[in-house]
Structure 1
């Protein structure tokens, strides 16, 4: 078993990953910026080493990578890296010092969907700062693997879902009012014909894929894998399925983008455009083939678990 340092250990992915690592017998050091709690309680956290590091400050001082290396990890998992400068500072400090480095990317490295389901190895044309930076990180890390043997594995999640936070909703944004509208049987407006796609993934399925990548070092290093549910869903199907889950027949209307946008807050409209303009629909064949990954949750099952948590905890009134 290995000593594993998890950066961003109490976030969406880490909340499910850290207990899996402990139960598998690994020694885990959980790195966070403060005394944050994981989204899901689990008794395994009692044996986890907690390490507080201010990544932003240490990176400005050029010391974050050396601070992680000083923890003497055999494996490092980075859940919260968003810029090439951040990735390179950490990776350079770990070359020759770790057996495995796992980085969380994003399916937004693809930009617009072209071939669907989209495999990992298509030419990527990302847009927007987030996708562009994440694609640059991927190129850098995979090049480091080829040139210098850096043992990196990259996982590209879709829209992450789990207990403790609001999922991406059928209107393509994160305002829970869309779920409340459906729960009360009221009419929900969707942009265009509702045929754009979104691709969720339960955080625990990302954790499962991470465990498989660690267990199958030879097949996973130097590779990138999508971490998504078995199938993307259209906004229309998503809204119809959730309506029926709440006990109502669908009550939807479809509006041209500009008309729909005019009815939304600027924040919701921007979020929806970011998601539907990409309309992700990603293949998981590579992870299934090389690592044996079979996600437990469909997109809808993941969302419904998350919404059930919102209802049970008074975050969503139905």
Structure 2
């Protein structure tokens, strides 16, 4: 089995990935800032070696990439890389010494969709610092893979959800009080006609994708794959399904964007804008064909699994079966 270094393995994806790797017999090292425990407990963490490192600070000093290389990994899974210089330093330090490098990207590399579902090979038109940097990292790593044989695979998750944190809600932001309002049957007002889309994925399905990429490294090297559920949701369809899940008929209203945003917390309205301006709806045919990817959770099932663990005023367990 392989010696696998996870960078940022205590977060959303690592919570589910570490048990999968340990149970598969791999030797796992988790490189973390040490500021967070996994979202869910699991006995597998007792077998994990932990290395504490501040990536941002050590990148500035030029030490982070060499620290990772000194761990002598067979495989590196980079869950928290956000800048091209950081990716370049790591690739340079690891080139020629590892079997596989898996980078976790984002579906925001696409920007606004032209065709839906959007295939992996669609032209990149990202906007915003996060999407632009992630697209540039992808381009750099895939170029290294094809020119120099650097064994990189890129996985692009959608809106990651799972137990332990509040999921992206039907209003397009992360305030869990939206779910509380739905649980009570209160009116939920959506922007426009609620037809913009969001595309969730359960963190365990992203972990599944990592396992499949590692297990099919010859086929996955030099490729990028979407890691999303089987289908995106419109805000309206998402809200309607959640009302019914809590035992109510949908109680929705709609306002044009400017009027809607004026009645919201400014930061939450900006978060909604960031999501609906992209309205992702991504295909998984390539991942299904090459990696055998089969998401366990639909978008709704992924959200509902996360909402079950929230403490929502006004909701009752009987309505959340």
Question: Shared fold (TM-score greater than 0.5)?
Answer: yes
Matches within 5 A, 1:1-318: 1-34=1-34, 36-310=36-310, 314=311, 317-318=314-315
Preserved contact between residue 35 and residue 52 of structure 1 (Cα < 8 Å): no
Within 1, Cα distance between the matches of 2:131 and 2:244?
A: 34
TM-score normalised per structure 1: 0.98
Preserved contact between residue 176 and residue 316 of structure 1 (Cα < 8 Å): no
Q: Aligned with 2:309: secondary structure? A: helix
Preserved contact between residue 15 and residue 39 of structure 2 (Cα < 8 Å): yes
Q: Aligned with 1:51: secondary structure? A: strand
Preserved contact between residue 197 and residue 280 of structure 2 (Cα < 8 Å): yes
**Change beyond 3 A, Cα 1:77–1:315:** farther
Q: Aligned with 1:133: secondary structure? A: helix
Q: Aligned with 2:207: secondary structure? A: helix
TM-score normalised per structure 2: 0.97
Preserved contact between residue 167 and residue 306 of structure 2 (Cα < 8 Å): yes
Within 2, Cα distance between the matches of 1:49 and 1:287?
A: 31
Preserved contact between residue 32 and residue 52 of structure 2 (Cα < 8 Å): yes
Q: Tell me how far 1:57 sits from its aligned partner.
A: 1.4
Within 2, Cα distance between the matches of 1:42 and 1:193?
A: 43
Structure 1 residue runs without a partner (length 5+): none
Q: Aligned with 1:236: secondary structure? A: helix
Q: Aligned with 1:218: secondary structure? A: helix
Within 2, Cα distance between the matches of 1:54 and 1:282?
A: 33
Within 1, Cα distance between the matches of 2:160 and 2:259?
A: 29
Within 1, Cα distance between the matches of 2:77 and 2:295?
A: 20
The C-alpha deviation readout for 1:251-301, integer Å capped at 9, x for no partner, is: 000110001001101111000000001000000000000010000000000
The C-alpha deviation readout for 1:89-110, integer Å capped at 9, x for no partner, is: 1111000010000000000000
Q: Tell me how far 1:56 sits from its aligned partner.
A: 1.2
Paired residues, number: 315
Q: Tell me how far 1:317 sits from its aligned partner.
A: 4.6
**Aligned-residue CA RMSD in angstroms?**
0.8
Preserved contact between residue 202 and residue 302 of structure 1 (Cα < 8 Å): yes
Q: Tell me how far 1:36 sits from its aligned partner.
A: 2.4
Q: Tell me how far 1:315 sits from its aligned partner.
A: 5.5
**Change beyond 3 A, Cα 1:57–1:315:** farther
Q: Tell me how far 1:177 sits from its aligned partner.
A: 1.3
